Amino acid sequence: MKYPLDFQSTFEDTMRFWIERYIRFKLTSLSNRQVKDEEQLAAILKSLTIGTKNIDELSKLVRSARNIGLIGVNTYYKPLEKLYRFLDNLGLASMKEIDEELIVDFLSSSTSGLSDATKKNYRIAMINFFAYIDKNNDDKHIYGIELKNWGGLRGKAGQKLPAYLSEEEIKRFLDAIDSYPFRTDVAARNRALIKLIIYTGIRVSEATHLKLKDLLPQEDVYLIKITGKGNKARVVMIKKEKIDHDLQEWLAMRQCEEGLLFCNKKGTPLTQAYISRIVEKILLSCGIRKEKNGAHMLRHTFATLLYNKSKDLVLVQEALGHASLDTSRIYTHFDKERLYKAASIMDKID
């Protein structure tokens, strides 16, 4: 259904209306595999359709959606909430006053100090949101927001090579996992979860939402069923000797809801931010400092090592659950043998 661009009586109400419609659209397209309360989701969608009284009420609805399992919604909503507050202070009279220059002003002032990855998320949120309005406004108004050159970000063309650990750093990190002074009640859980990530390369979100039934013991290994992005399933493997001591200690005290393998003291999933903080503390404890010290770097470390040892890009794609081989191809940039061949191509001519 299409609506007039300036649908409400004030700019603030109209802007909030479009955010509500866009978030409702995104909630119905996100994976609902982790949704715990279908009735609450239906109530949230109904509230978004009816409309909210103010931005705080809308933010509360989004938090509720995230809490019931739609964890990706913040990626779309947070930049728009900040945009709303930014535009609200400008005293605009119409949605037609918004243009790309104004969006660049917002991004420049609101994302300073954020990581490049977060800036990229903001850029994508802006492009997608205004493309949604372009498609659904009855006035046929086209924003055409592209942000091609903002902040030097051009999608993949502006992508940085990921940070990763060298083999020597991996050894130090693994030793530090076992020696780090965790609290007794979470030590086994944290060690098992972090080892699982670095030994298999699974995403942090995949690790935190694993179910106990997904862990399949074999002779000397565990097969682990992973449900990745887009509900795509794959199987990874970890040798029991790498994780079993910590895992069995954790299983003896584990009290998780919904059959979760790992959980906090409330029985609910651990957050990605919590895991990243733990990883950073362990890295700093053994003197390792990278541009990005978070838990996702462990996935890059696994992928880089896997490619350098196997030279098999398809194996990297399958192990990491990449939808496209192009996504895996970035790890060929760390292949020193290939780079040395390129560096030596002029030797005979010299």
Q: Which residues are catalytic?
A: 203, 229, 296, 299, 322, 331
CA–CA dist 234, 65 (Å, integer): 27
Q: Could you give the CA distance from residue 159 to residue 177 in angstroms, rounded to a whole number?
A: 30
Query: Could you tell me if 89 and 54 are in contact, meaning their C-beta atoms sit under 8 angstroms apart?
Result: no
3-state secondary structure 176-206: HHHHCCCCHHHHHHHHHHHHHHHHHCCCHHH
Quote the CA–CA distance of 31 and 104 in Å, as a whole number: 31
Compute the 3-state secondary structure of the chain and give helix, strand, coil in percent, each to the nearest 5.
Answer: 60, 5, 35
The structure tokens listed for 201 are 């390369």
Sequence-separated (6 or more) residues with CB below 8 Å from residue 228 = 203, 206, 234, 321
Burial class (CB in 10 A: 0-12, 13-18, 19+), 107: buried
What type of residue is 278?
I
